[in-house]
Amino acid sequence: MDVDIAVVGSLNHDLTVVAPNLPSPGETVLGSNHYWDNGGKGANQAVASARLGANVAMFGRVGDDEHGASLFDGLTQEGIDTAGVGIDHEKRTGLAVITVDDEAENTIVVSPGANSALTADHLKPFRSAIADAKVLLAQLEVPTEAVARAVEICQGAICLNPAPAQALPIGLFERIDVLIPNRSELAALADVAIPTNRDETLEAISGLPATGAVVVTLGSDGAVVVENGKATSVPAHPVAAIDPTGAGDAFCGALAFALSRDRDLLEATKWAVAVGALATTRRGAQTAMPTADEVETFLNG
């Protein structure tokens, strides 16, 4: 199929525990519920884009285990091309352990597993699919060398969600068309304190290495778009949030979808803010991703 969006990133098995509060160091907290879900930033963003109507190809790695099989099945059911998802016979499928509290705040610990075994060589057989995609969407839960190779190959728009934040080669920064960090990732990349307001956010952006446009996700405060030296705030949609786990990934997948449909960045961000907000009203990661019809109903309701 013609690829709208090529996603190079992680695939994880998620274990989520719902608790009244997030535990402090050394504290044991009794949870009220727990559940499993297919996850991983890459796979989440792929599902978000596909559910909105994009043709998506996923590139990553899972273990030869039941969780890897579940991730394959989930992506296939969403119509996502999984030819680029390899099976690792030495490492298990990645695992994310998530705690969500009554205030819809969360903590996440990820054991990368097979994600850490993705290399640039694994992408060689899929060079044409990545090169011809309208949008490349990548994150940093897989080795940087694989992301850098995908960026080198891609001829379309390049979107990077720098999560978890880490130092990146300047050459990689220079190829990014849209950088999509949250507050803490922006702070880590710019080596500053986490910004608490618009002015601090813009100052942090000014401290980044050379890159294209920047879209900072601000949770319940919406987002801010900086493009061609102009900053524009995009307000959030008030919702009764219960789980933020997949919200950032929903945002990234929606932004990539909108860009693949030739929407300008500001319009794409407004759409993505709505998609991210809607995702917080549901439990889980991939299970929380809305369809295009659901987003339209939400916007027009």
Paired strand residues for 108: 98
Cα 139 to chain centroid, rounded: 6
Q: State pTM to two decimals.
A: 0.94
The single residue listed with the structure tokens 């963003």 is: 45
Return the percentage of the chain with pLDDT > 70, whole number: 100
Peptide linkage before 164 cis (omega within 30 of 0): yes
pLDDT at 17 over 70: yes
Q: What letter represents residue 34's amino acid?
A: H
Catalytic residue among 37, 199, 249, 293: 249
* Residue among 194, 192, 220 nearest 207 (CA): 192
Give the chain's mean pLDDT: 94
Per-residue pLDDT at 275: 97
Per-residue pLDDT at 210: 73
* Residue among 49, 90, 53 nearest 68 (CA): 90
- Sheet containing 94-100: which strands, arranged edge to edge? 33-39, 12-18, 94-100, 106-111
The pLDDT tens digits of the residues spanning 216-256 come to 999 889 999 999 989 999 999 999 988 888 899 999 999 99
CA distance 289 to 48: 5
Domains, the chain, ordered by start: 5-300 (3.40.1190.20)
**DSSP secondary structure letter of residue 57:** E
Radius of gyration in angstroms for the set of CA atoms belonging to the chain, rounded to a whole number: 18
CA distance 297 to 38: 26
249 catalytically annotated:
yes
